């Protein structure tokens, strides 16, 4: 991974540090994201998306270590952890018990948190340079299809939203979501 960043990449990082919402390409669609530790940014994202806080959000990261401050993985058996880690990096989202200190703005009405270690090079680079995971929810307004191009992001959200220019990973469907403890499927990938 290159240590050099373009001015456009730097603008997105600056927006994150200023507690703004950004859009960026993921494995299948563009995501809306922000700093997971900023209530201001999360609230802005929920308002923009018209998403109720009770649903909870996904965190996307470059590596599992970035996610650990938010997770209570002591409840996982070695086998469960092994299965989870074998899917990463990749388009698999796992629902894992959250630490009691993890913000309800992230977990919603649940005691769990949905997390993914991405294999998308721009997501990995963004999380590495930012130094932590990002909130990730599909970039679309309520009732509209998720955006798959920068142009579609601009059509739905206008020119003021900072967008990381790049291509989505080519997957047809958003990531599969499963409960790590029970294996229950929440969303087909």
Identify the CATH number of the domain in which residue 52 sits. 3.90.870.10
Give domain status of residue 146, yes or no: yes
Hey, what are 185's tokens? Answer: 């499927």
Question: Tell me, what's the pLDDT at 38?
Answer: 98
Give domain status of residue 2, yes or no: no
Confidence of residue 28 (pLDDT cuts 50, 70, 90): very high
Give domain status of residue 128, yes or no: yes
**E-assigned strand segments in the chain:** 22-25, 30-33, 58-61, 92-97, 112-117, 134-138, 176-179, 185-187
Q: How far is the C-alpha of 145 from the C-alpha of 148, rounded, in Å?
A: 9
Confidence of residue 2 (pLDDT cuts 50, 70, 90): low
Per-residue pLDDT reduced to its tens digit, 71-109:
999 989 999 999 999 999 998 999 999 999 999 999 999
**Which residues span the domain enclosing 31?**
7-187
Q: How far is the C-alpha of 131 from the C-alpha of 33, rounded, in Å?
A: 14
Give domain status of residue 1, yes or no: no
Give domain status of residue 49, yes or no: yes
Per-residue pLDDT reduced to its tens digit, 29-57:
999 999 999 999 999 999 999 899 999 99
> Bridge-partner residues for 138, per DSSP?
31
**How many structural domains does the chain have?**
1
Residues 6+ apart with CB under 8 A from 70: 36, 59, 98, 99, 102, 106, 113, 115, 133
């Amino acid at each position: 991974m290159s240590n050099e960043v373009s001015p456009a990449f730097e603008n997105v990082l600056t927006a994150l540090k200023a507690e703004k919402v950004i859009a960026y390409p993921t494995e299948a669609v563009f995501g809306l994201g922000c700093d997971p530790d900023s209530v201001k940014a999360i609230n802005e994202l929920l308002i923009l998306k018209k998403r109720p806080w009770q649903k909870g959000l996904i965190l996307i990261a470059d590596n599992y270590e970035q996610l650990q401050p938010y997770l209570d993985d002591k409840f996982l058996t070695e086998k469960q952890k092994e299965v989870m880690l074998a899917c990463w990096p990749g388009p698999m989202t796992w629902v894992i018990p959250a630490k009691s200190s993890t913000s309800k703005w992230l977990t919603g009405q649940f005691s769990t948190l949905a997390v993914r270690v991405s294999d998308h090079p721009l997501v990995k680079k963004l999380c590495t340079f930012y130094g932590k995971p990002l909130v990730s929810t599909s970039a679309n307004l309520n009732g509209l299809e998720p955006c798959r191009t920068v142009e579609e992001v601009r059509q739905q959200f206008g020119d003021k939203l900072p967008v990381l220019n790049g291509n989505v990973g080519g997957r047809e469907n958003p990531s599969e979501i499963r409960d790590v403890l029970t294996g229950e499927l929440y969303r087909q990938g």
